[in-house]
């Protein structure tokens, strides 16, 4: 990445871009506080466009690099996680935002390819959101392939195992629950030596079994 101090003092375009990012973040925050989900999503999309331009201008390869390099005064990893939530909330009212969510998550995960959840604190959540987008599109094989790829590189990622499982029963609004598959995923995660957040996985498994039991409808003989 370029020397940002030199860039700040030598480039009007750079300073203008920072001002635009700051302005949109302020407007995004106002929309969030007022509960205007659509407006928050729209301001977030403008911020994302500006951040991509900032990456190109500074020759940064990812949002993580921008954040670590102090390219802005904002916590960009926190912003990205919040942006995904805003897109999700906006999509409840306008399905177009589901496409925006998929596009952002794909780009974000791709630019941090090769990095681990333990290194980029919001990467796990955005990965799970990406996998959820594919599941909603009926592409469960893509969802599973993504988690297999991520967990192959980082098998101790405990919240990866629970996140993958949750998509099939806990957070799958509008999709038929698959308790059997969700349970299998959690049990596989528990077999990983030194898996992180093992107790959380166990708690989720217990919760799943309870939900599975209550979901079984009794049969009546005539």
> CB-based burial of residue 107 (10 Å sphere; 0-12 exposed, 13-18 middle, 19+ buried)?
middle
Spatial CA neighbour of 108 closest among 119, 96, 120: 120
Statement: residue 208 has pLDDT above 50: yes
Range of lowest pLDDT (28-42, 98-112, 162-176)? 162-176
- pLDDT value at position 218? 40
Question: Between these two residues, 173 and 2, which has the higher pLDDT value?
Answer: 2
- Tokens at 105, concatenated: 């998550």
> CB-based burial of residue 70 (10 Å sphere; 0-12 exposed, 13-18 middle, 19+ buried)?
exposed
The CA angle 119-124-128, to the nearest 5 degrees, is: 165
- pLDDT value at position 207? 95
Statement: residue 220 has pLDDT above 60: no
Residue 222: count of CB within 10 angstroms of its CB: 2
Specify the 3-state DSSP secondary structure of 219: coil
pTM for the model: 0.90
Would residue 114 be called left, alpha or beta, if left means φ above 0 and alpha means ψ between -120 and 50 degrees?
A: left
Q: What is the pLDDT of residues 49-85, one digit of tens each?
A: 999 999 999 999 999 999 999 999 999 999 999 999 9
**Sign of the CA dihedral 54, 56, 62, 64?**
negative
**Average pLDDT in the 31-39 region?**
96
- Tokens at 91, concatenated: 């999509």
Q: What is the pLDDT of residues 97-154, one digit of tens each?
A: 999 999 999 999 999 999 999 999 999 999 999 999 999 999 999 999 999 999 999 9
- pLDDT value at position 174? 66
- pLDDT value at position 34? 97
Mean pLDDT, the chain, as a whole number?
93
Contacts of 98 (CB under 8 A, 6+ apart): 87, 91, 133, 136
Residue 86's pLDDT band, with cuts at 50, 70 and 90, is: very high
């Amino acid at each position: 990445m370029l020397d940002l101090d030199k860039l700040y003092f030598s480039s009007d375009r750079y300073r203008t871009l920072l001002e635009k990012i700051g302005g949109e973040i302020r407007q995004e925050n106002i929309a969030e506080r007022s509960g205007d989900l659509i407006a928050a999503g729209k301001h977030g999309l403008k911020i994302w466009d500006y951040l991509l331009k900032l990456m190109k201008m500074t020759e940064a390869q990812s949002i993580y690099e921008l954040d670590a390099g102090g390219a802005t005064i904002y916590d960009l990893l926190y912003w990205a996680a919040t942006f995904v939530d805003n897109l999700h909330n906006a999509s409840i009212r306008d399905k177009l935002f589901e496409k925006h969510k998929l596009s952002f998550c794909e780009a974000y995960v791709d630019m941090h390819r090769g990095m681990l959840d333990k290194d980029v604190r919001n990467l796990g959540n955005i990965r799970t959101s990406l996998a959820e987008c594919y599941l909603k599109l009926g592409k469960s094989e893509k969802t599973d392939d993504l988690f297999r790829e991520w967990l192959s590189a980082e098998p101790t990622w405990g919240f990866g195992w629970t996140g993958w499982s949750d998509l099939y029963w806990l957070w799958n609004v509008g999709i038929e629950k698959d308790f059997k598959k969700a349970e299998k995923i959690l049990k596989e995660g528990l077999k990983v030596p030194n898996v992180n957040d093992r107790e959380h996985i166990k708690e989720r498994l217990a919760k799943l079994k309870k939900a599975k039991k209550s979901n079984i409808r009794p049969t009546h003989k005539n």
